[in-house]
Homo-oligomer: A and B are copies of this chain.
Amino acid sequence: MSGLKGKVAVVAAGHSRWGIRNATWRELAQEAGRELFKAAPNLDRKQVDSLFVGAAEPERWAFQSHVAPLVADMLGIQPWRVVQRTDLACASGQSAVRSAAMAIATGLSDVALCIGIEKMNLPNMAESQTSMACVLDREFDGPHGASAPPFFALTAQRHMYDYGTTEEQMALVAEKNHANSCHNPNAQFQKPVPKDKVLSSRMVAPPLKLFDCSGITDGAAAVLMTSAERAGDFTDQAAYILGSGQSAIGGNLANLHSWTTWEPGRIASREGYKMAGITPQDLDFVESHDCFSISEIIEYEDLGFCKKGEGGKFIEEGNPYIGGKIPFNTRGGLLGMGHPLGATGVSQTCEVLWQFQGKVPRQRRVDGADLAMTHNLSGAANVHSVLIWGRQPSVGG
């Protein structure tokens, strides 16, 4: 079970600008790839033996299937060990990172490039949104109008009913993450959004308002991965995988055991902590999946940072801020960065590396961070994915 622990290193990262981009999916891939190659001056592209592409729906948003070899071609690499694209909707990026990690841990790959890409903005946005609705169960939930915003809105309503969570508490999450993304030059949103602006923004699906929702975003992000032994060939400050967990329970909404307790999130994080040999309290920061403001509140609870139902209070008391007990989403999260589905998990990985390397702007930096977690959920929060990262290949190492 300790298969990945301490064996795999992320040694360089590259990121495109995110937003409504006047660029094709290929151009986004090239932009992130170019930045990655700049960050790995010791890399000869001929060394890249494997390619992992995270993308959720290029078949719909870019009218292109079989994207992996086209990406290889655009980046000027000719992988000869493993080549694939992984899809896990909103968690496609982390899925690609996990796949690359497996390839390296087995020794199948020596040097792997992992890139997440999504081009979501189309001239006809109704078409883009219809495709987004494919992420939930189209046969059973589609007829009821359940796409992501209504699903998370119902989740929020139930959390408010069960635990007294307030719209103000949710607005604090949006305010915090937008404050962080102000200091991220790659973010889609780089202006402060104070709590009152969140609360007075346009209603999307009650109680979720515009700024409670992540954006529809074009973007890419890439990382270079190798074994812990070879990390020194590329950098003197890598990020090492210490733990991994992923759990799927339930398909359509009628099968969810609970809307407000995300059992797969509990299981995935428990598995991750167990493999890493740590507790949530050991972490220095978390990049979590705040697709909606309510998501981050439930994540405080189910990833183990506060008791069930106390997520709202957790942010009210200042815990998930930079300088607080456990900073959440220093990058700006999905709310501030935007959420190009396949790229998000890879971008979180970039943030972990850059935090460890002290490369992020002072305002969003977590000084001396040694341990971090990246977390994604997908679909109707019925799949959760977690990776635990260390500045060293072993805890306290």
A positions within 8 Å CB-CB of B: 1-4, 24, 26, 51, 56-57, 59-60, 63-70, 72-74, 78-89, 95, 98-99, 102-103, 105-108, 110, 131, 134-139, 244-252, 255, 267-268, 271, 378-379, 382-383, 385
Contact = CB atoms under 8 A, between A and B. Distances in A.
Given A85-B86, A88-B83, A379-B66, A74 B251 contact: yes
A251 B67 CA distance: 9
Contacts of A79: 246-248
A3 B247 contact: no
Nearest to A94: B84
Each complex incorporates copies of this chain amounting to 2
Specify which of A82, A110, A244, A245 lies most central, judged by the most chain B CB atoms within 10 Å of its CB: A82
Contacts of A139: 24, 26, 64
Nearest to A247: B80
B66 A247 contact: no
A110 to B, nearest CB: 8
A383 B83 CA distance: 8
Nearest to A99: B99
B379 A131 contact: no
Nearest to A249: B78
A72 B74 CA distance: 35
Given A248-B51, A248-B79, A3 B69 contact: no
Given A99-B102, A102-B99, A267-B80, A69 B108 contact: no
21 contacts: A1-B108, A3-B103, A26-B139, A64-B134, A64-B138, A64-B139, A65-B134, A66-B89, A66-B379, A73-B252, A79-B248, A82-B98, A82-B246, A83-B88, A83-B247, A83-B385, A85-B86, A85-B87, A86-B87, A87-B87, A106-B106
A116 B115 CA distance: 24
A114 B397 CA distance: 36
